[in-house]
Chains A and B, each alone.
Chain A
Amino acid sequence: MTPPTPATLIIGYGNPLRGDDGVGWHVAQHLAAMMPATIACVRACHQLTPDLAESVSQVRQVIFIDADAQCRDADTALPELEPWRVRCQHVEPDWSAAISGCSHHLVPAVLMLYAAVLYGAFPKALVLTVTGVSFAYTQALSPAVEAVLPVLVDQLQMLVQSRDSDMPCF
């Protein structure tokens, strides 16, 4: 018998051969090892691909974890760049992103759109980005991003396992 689909899907993506670009992939690897499959389905991948759309359409909430090359500080009180800062944003399906996009670079808003148009449903979605320090050719995260990793994993676990799953930005 097929097990029931969990309510939450976590997709951590990035290139683990390019330093901090792989932070989403690393977070997903950690979460996959500790998160019960009944609570959340965790996927670690190099990039978002259209075949993820069906899985996205089948859950109540999805959390995307990605690296960001820039510290986008519009929603923070700190004026200086803090490389370890984590930013989260709600995301909705977006046609304009689909039209201007590139097939080698699918963004969460377009994946949500694929879910909505092709499979008739899309969940609540949160994009969580970690500002990277180094995107050089290495499998290691920078010390600053490495330091934030356990905190991030803990917070995500609490967020997903809590009964209140409205996914507030933290």
Chain B
Amino acid sequence: MAQRILIDPVTRIEGHARITIHLDDEGMVNDARFHVTQFRGFEKLCEGRPFYEMPSLMARICGICPVSHLIASAKACDAILAVRIPATAIKLRRIMNLAQIVQSHALSFFYLAAPDLLLGMDSDPAQRNLAGVLQAHPQIARDGIRLRQFGQQIIEWLGGKRIHPAWVVPGGVNQPLAASRRDQILATIPEAVRIIQRVLDWFKCSLDDYREEIQSFANFPSLFMGLVNGQGGLEFYDGHMRIVDATGTIVADQLDPTRYQDYVEEAVEDWTYLKFPYYKPAGYPHGIYRVGPLARLNIADHCGTPLADQEWAEFRALQRGSVLSSFYFHYARLVEILFGIERIAELLNDPDIVSDHVRALAGPNNDEGIGVSEAPRGTLLHHYKIDAQGLITWANLIIATGHNNLAMNRGVLQVARRFISGTAITEGALNRVEAVIRAFDPCLSCSTHAQGVLPLHVQLLGSDGTVLDEVWRG
């Protein structure tokens, strides 16, 4: 009899989701789906608001990556103003964006993924949490806390507060950087570099422990998409779009990010609120692509800072062509943290960074604006239209997690087929189904993620809806 396994909610991710796994009559996994069960509606609720409110309004989408929305939104508003913002403002925005990359990646790796990585996928769920990490690996816990603090502190020093700073505005930023503050940030760089190098050394040495997960965690050919700079290097703020395939071949390059509608289209399914963007020329669902840390390291020709370049070369040597296993998202996050720290130091050492000229003032000169940047989880697009009064009439957001939706669904199916059969549901199998999603670090919203006593509910249902088996955790 056909059966269905339900995992609801998925834990240690940002937001609300559930997973269903469909078994055939022989108890083999037939299909699996990752359902996003929350609806935010930001595109509608901003209609009628003045466009210059958008950065602050859109930052409220998330408490983890508000800076990403702030920056993409401000860039869309720059386009509405039709101004070239001052060079110093661009550098300051870049610093804040990189600080956000560092803190968000640290959160994902140390707070959400570390319990699986350090304590084991099959470990007791009562221990497999932050408290367990604290007890078993205090040095790594200290490192994680310090790295997140490093990023958050820079955001606070620049923008006045860690969450939802209002410093990035249409036309630039609203305050220049004081030299004393610059020196304060620079003083924290050496320790942050030491920490991330220590963590990278440990993680690279431990990769053999995750051989099974590397093989089965969304490990399949797909396209990879993201921004690169003019030299083909790692880029988080500007640049052009590049798409590479599984062999590492560039499929499309020099794409204008503001013409995203030429090459990205969104499909809709009736069982989830998250849309399915795909690469338009390849069609749906063949145009599956991945974004985020793994994709960025796959599409770039180099990082662009000395230490991160060494790590990037080692990372790319994992596989000929593109690195395909989504388990390596974790590894890529660590490389990007190192890059972020190094690049922040480079930007701060530019004498121009303390210039007072940080904002271009103008009224609306265009009735449409598109802003694109790289968020921790991938490429982020904000697209607005305004009326003659400067009020928003239409908005479209494509958020990084959405780009990965096809890949996450396929990843869940791959893991379920590898680890689940209809005869038994083991704790380790359940956790791996969730852990493949955690590898993508989806940001479904800034919502709760329980740990410790996990509110996990798994049901085996017969084709007539009868509950055949049930597992509660928590």
Question: How far does the alpha carbon of A100 sit from the alpha carbon of B132 in the complex, in Å?
Answer: 11
| Interface residue range, chain B | 20 to 34
Check if B138 sits within 8 Å of A50, measured CB to CB: no
Cβ-neighbour of B451 out of A53, A95, A101, A118 (below 8 A): A101
Question: In the complex, what residues of A have CB within 8 A of residue B452's CB?
Answer: 98-102
Check if A99 sits within 8 Å of B149, measured CB to CB: no
Question: How far does the alpha carbon of A113 sit from the alpha carbon of B450 in the complex, in Å?
Answer: 19
Total contacts A-B at CB 8 Å: 51
Q: State how many angstroms separate the Cβ of A88 from the closest Cβ of chain B.
A: 26
B142 on the interface (CB 8 Å rule)?
Answer: yes
The interface stretch among B68-76, B123-131, B272-280 is B123-131
Given known A-B contacts A50-B145, A51-B152, A95-B131, A118 and B138 have beta carbons under 8 A apart? yes
Q: State how many angstroms separate the Cβ of A53 from the closest Cβ of chain B.
A: 7
Check if A99 sits within 8 Å of B449, measured CB to CB: no
A104 on the interface (CB 8 Å rule)?
Answer: yes
B186 on the interface (CB 8 Å rule)?
Answer: no
| Interface residue range, chain A | 10 to 19
Q: Mark A80-119, 1 if CB is under 8 A from B, else 0.
A: 0000000000000001001111111000001001100111
A46 on the interface (CB 8 Å rule)?
Answer: yes
Cβ-neighbour of B111 out of A98, A103, A110, A119 (below 8 A): A103
B163 on the interface (CB 8 Å rule)?
Answer: yes
Given known A-B contacts A118-B134, A118-B145, A104 and B126 have beta carbons under 8 A apart? no
Check if B135 sits within 8 Å of A117, measured CB to CB: yes
Question: In the complex, what residues of A have CB within 8 A of residue B451's CB?
Answer: 101-103
Q: Mark B153-182, 1 if CB is under 8 A from A, else 0.
A: 000000000010000000000000000000
Question: In the complex, what residues of A have CB within 8 A of residue B135's CB?
Answer: 117
Q: State how many angstroms separate the Cβ of B126 from the closest Cβ of chain A.
A: 7
Cβ-neighbour of A117 out of B134, B146, B453 (below 8 A): B134
B141 on the interface (CB 8 Å rule)?
Answer: yes
Cβ-neighbour of A102 out of B134, B138, B448 (below 8 A): B448
Question: In the complex, what residues of B have CB within 8 A of residue A118's CB?
Answer: 134, 138, 141-142, 145
Check if B145 sits within 8 Å of A51, measured CB to CB: yes
Q: State how many angstroms separate the Cβ of B374 from the closest Cβ of chain A.
A: 25
Question: How far does the alpha carbon of A51 sit from the alpha carbon of B150 in the complex, in Å?
Answer: 10
Within 8 A of B (CB), among A97-144: 98-104, 110, 113-114, 117-119
Q: Mark B391-419, 1 if CB is under 8 A from A, else 0.
A: 00000000000000000000000000000
Residue on A nearest B127 in the bound complex, by CB: A99
Check if A99 sits within 8 Å of B126, measured CB to CB: yes
Question: In the complex, what residues of B have CB within 8 A of residue A113's CB?
Answer: 131, 134
Question: In the complex, what residues of B have CB within 8 A of residue A119's CB?
Answer: 142
Check if A100 sits within 8 Å of B453, measured CB to CB: yes
B148 on the interface (CB 8 Å rule)?
Answer: yes
Question: How far does the alpha carbon of A117 sit from the alpha carbon of B145 in the complex, in Å?
Answer: 13
Question: How far does the alpha carbon of A54 sit from the alpha carbon of B191 in the complex, in Å?
Answer: 15
Check if A98 sits within 8 Å of B448, measured CB to CB: no
Q: State how many angstroms separate the Cβ of A95 from the closest Cβ of chain B.
A: 7
Question: In the complex, what residues of B have CB within 8 A of residue A102's CB?
Answer: 448-452
Question: How far does the alpha carbon of A118 sit from the alpha carbon of B111 in the complex, in Å?
Answer: 15
Check if A51 sits within 8 Å of B148, measured CB to CB: yes
Q: State how many angstroms separate the Cβ of B223 from the closest Cβ of chain A.
A: 33
Question: How far does the alpha carbon of A101 sit from the alpha carbon of B452 in the complex, in Å?
Answer: 7
Question: How far does the alpha carbon of A46 sit from the alpha carbon of B146 in the complex, in Å?
Answer: 19
Check if B134 sits within 8 Å of A103, measured CB to CB: no
Name A's B-contacting residues (CB within 8 A).
Answer: 46, 50-51, 53-54, 95, 98-104, 110, 113-114, 117-119
Query: Can you sample 26 A-B contacts with CB below 8 Å?
Result: A46-B163, A50-B145, A51-B145, A51-B148, A51-B152, A53-B145, A95-B131, A98-B131, A98-B452, A99-B126, A99-B131, A99-B452, A99-B453, A100-B452, A101-B131, A102-B448, A102-B449, A103-B130, A103-B451, A104-B449, A110-B131, A114-B134, A117-B134, A117-B138, A118-B138, A118-B141
Given contact pairs A99-B129, A102-B449, enumerate 13 new A-B contacts (beta carbons under 8 Å). Answer: A50-B145, A51-B145, A54-B145, A98-B452, A99-B126, A102-B448, A103-B111, A103-B112, A104-B449, A110-B131, A114-B134, A117-B135, A118-B141
Name B's A-contacting residues (CB within 8 A).
Answer: 111-112, 126, 129-131, 134-135, 138, 141-142, 145-146, 148-149, 152, 163, 448-453
